[in-house]
C-alpha cells in the first residue's frame, strides 16, 4: 500500500509541478514523498549522496519549495486557466505545511506498523 501511494504521489506531484497546475499541490506532494524517502532509507547513511545519504532528497525538497513559493509562471496551466490568483502566500504555506505534516505522519505510520524499506 505504501509503495503504491508513494509512486502515485511522486508521479502526480511531478506532473502537476511540470504543468504548473494547482499551484503548490504538486510541490507539496514532492516534499511529502522526499520526507518519507529520506526518513526510511537515506537518513541512516548520513547527509552525502555518495553514501546513499539524504542530500538529494534535501535538494528535491528545496527545489519543490522554490517552485511552490515562486509560483508556476506565465506559461503554466494555472495562468492559462486564470486560477493562479487563487494561490496566495498563505495558501502556498498551508499546502506545503500539510505536505510536511502528512509526510511525517506517513513516516511514523510506517514505523508503527513495522513496514521496512525494500530496494
C-beta pairs of 70-78 under 8 Å, 24+ apart in sequence: 71/23, 72/20, 72/21, 72/23, 73/20, 75/20, 76/19, 76/20, 76/21, 77/19, 77/20, 77/21, 78/20, 78/21, 78/22, 78/23
Annotated domain spans of the chain: 2-112
Question: What confidence score (pLDDT) does residue 70 get?
Answer: 93
CA distances (Å), origin 107, targets 11, 20, 26, 68? 19, 28, 19, 22
Write out the chain's pLDDT in tens, 119 residues.
Answer: 778 988 999 999 999 999 999 999 999 999 999 999 999 999 999 999 889 999 999 999 999 999 999 998 999 999 999 999 999 999 999 999 999 999 999 989 876 666 555 44
Q: Cα–Cα distance between 54 and 3 in angstroms, integer?
A: 19
Residue pair 112/60 in contact by the 8 Å Cβ criterion: no
Q: Cα–Cα distance between 30 and 96 in angstroms, integer?
A: 10
Q: Look up the pTM and report it.
A: 0.88
Question: What confidence score (pLDDT) does residue 119 get?
Answer: 42
Amino acid at each position: 500500500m505504501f509503495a503504491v501511494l508513494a509512486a502515485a504521489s511522486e508521479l502526480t506531484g511531478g506532473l502537476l509541478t511540470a504543468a504548473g497546475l494547482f499551484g503548490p499541490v504538486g510541490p507539496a506532494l514532492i516534499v511529502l514523498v522526499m520526507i518519507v524517502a529520506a526518513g526510511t532509507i537515506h537518513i541512516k547513511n548520513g547527509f552525502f549522496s555518495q553514501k546513499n545519504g539524504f542530500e538529494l532528497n534535501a535538494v528535491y525538497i528545496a527545489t519543490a519549495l522554490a517552485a511552490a513559493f515562486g509560483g508556476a509562471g506565465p506559461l503554466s496551466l494555472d495562468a492559462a486557466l486564470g486560477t493562479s490568483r487563487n494561490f496566495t502566500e498563505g495558501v502556498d504555506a498551508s499546502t506545503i505545511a500539510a505536505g510536511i505534516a502528512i509526510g511525517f505522519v506517513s513516516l511514523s505510520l510506517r514505523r508503527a506498523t513495522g513496514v521496512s524499506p525494500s530496494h
